[in-house]
Structure 1
């Protein structure tokens, strides 16, 4: 039901901030606090704050594996309050400006296993741009039936004056079945989402401020996610640290 993307975990084979364990292995820890947990434009915490942590074991060959977790709140008295993701992949650096990331993610939700699903992804990076596709064949719709889903996006990242970083993303989330219904009775099986984020390193951590929105109307949002405000435009503040 909820579709997650771990953009923060697109890593170099041996990240410069990671803890070196040996000549070939390194461990990276990622910590993040955010005013909202938004993924693909949709809030996973009912617009409330989130605390997130991830650990990734990296090999000099480009292979990596790890685990990531966050608090969640889907409402309706659902028991799960946590998302736990397990992932593995291979990162290939063709040059300083061109890379390819291929991998697999398993999303799990303790006490609400009906939301569990898996996904494969491919992300091509070149000169600050990323072109990505993430496919799942076991996501479930509201009736518990499996369906194919494809999330694709293009993004761009660059440095600005005053030591600011800029990240832009535009994505499309496409479902096999019509899931979103308007008040006029029309249905749709996809939606678009976008994000613009400024970051700056200060006092040993990275501060971020992002504007996030989707093209879903309130009625379309409520028809699938059950609430009118989890798809609407918002500002998300964050502070993160990797080591």
Structure 2
């Protein structure tokens, strides 16, 4: 169990040390998911299963003027041979609103896999939203990563505490494992910053085979 928790705890601790003490713009999150999927693809390189729990969490800092930076981490087995036992995401950007309720977010993210640098990657992204709808375009850069993906999403409140989520993504086929991905799910607010979720997620795959299989993913996230 220590091998499962220790890598994530170390990454979160680094962010907590770097963040300004007691700053109002700092928020933290920690969660547990039954399976780590990203864009419909199982991220853990071990034999695909319907459940392979991962501990996840990170920290965010909002400067209050639109600028933000953050860190998010996940346990698992990553890399070509599963050598890395931690994914570290470092990101930052600028967000705001304009016009009649339109919102935007422009930023970049760095994916880091200690013990296997071959999986390290960079991506810039642009998000645009209005009401319950949003769209995001992301494009990889550096390390030979030329991934491009467009995602269309919605988040429809069904009650004060329950929200329906849905999204569909389209990716370029150049050296890609999948061309389309989608998820549909429900998020329930348990109060005190605790959220429970259940999502059906999968992808149309060319190379990943069962890694893109449609699966039910459940999770809990606590923000504070």
TM-score in terms of structure 2 length? 0.81
- State the alpha-carbon separation in 2 of the partners of residues 96 and 20 from structure 1: 36
1:187 alignment partner in structure 2: none
Q: Counterpart in 2 of 1:154? A: 152
Instruction: Pick the structure with more helix per residue.
Output: 2
SS of 1:114 mapped into structure 2: helix
Aligned-residue CA RMSD in angstroms? Answer: 2.3
Say yes or no: does 1:63 pair with 2:67.
Answer: yes
Cα deviation for residue 229 of structure 1 reads 2.0
Q: Counterparts of 1:196 and 1:133 in 2: how far apart (Å)? A: 19
Name 1:242's counterpart in structure 2: 223
Q: Distance in 1 between matches of 2:99 and 2:65?
A: 15
When normalised by structure 1's length, the TM-score is: 0.75
The answer to whether the Cα contact below 8 Å between 2:168 and 2:183 also exists between their aligned partners in 1 is yes
- What is the SS of the residue equivalent to 1:148? coil
Residues 148-186 of structure 1: per-residue CA shift (max 9 Å, x gap): 110110000011037311111000122434x55xxxxxx
Structure 2: how far apart are the matches of 1:138 and 1:175? 18
The worse-fitting range, judged by mean Cα deviation, of 44-53 and 151-160 is: 44-53
Q: How many Å apart are 1:20 and its aligned residue?
A: 9.9
Residue correspondences, number: 199
1:154/1:169 contact within 8 Å kept = yes
Structure 1 unaligned regions, length at least 5? 1-18, 140-145, 181-189
8 Å Cα contact 2:79-2:113 kept in structure 1: no
In the alignment, which of 69, 85, 88 is matched to residue 81 of structure 1?
85
Deviation at 1:21, TM superposition (A): 4.6
Residue equivalent to 2:38: 39
- Partner of 1:199 in structure 2? 187
- 1:90, 1:21 → 2: CA distance? 22
Question: SS in structure 2 opposite 1:215?
Answer: strand
What per-residue deviation string (whole Å, max 9, x for no partner) do you get for residues 64-118 of structure 1?
A: 0111110122476431011001111001123683210000101010010011111
Aligned counterpart, 1:163 = 161
Deviation at 1:49, TM superposition (A): 1.1
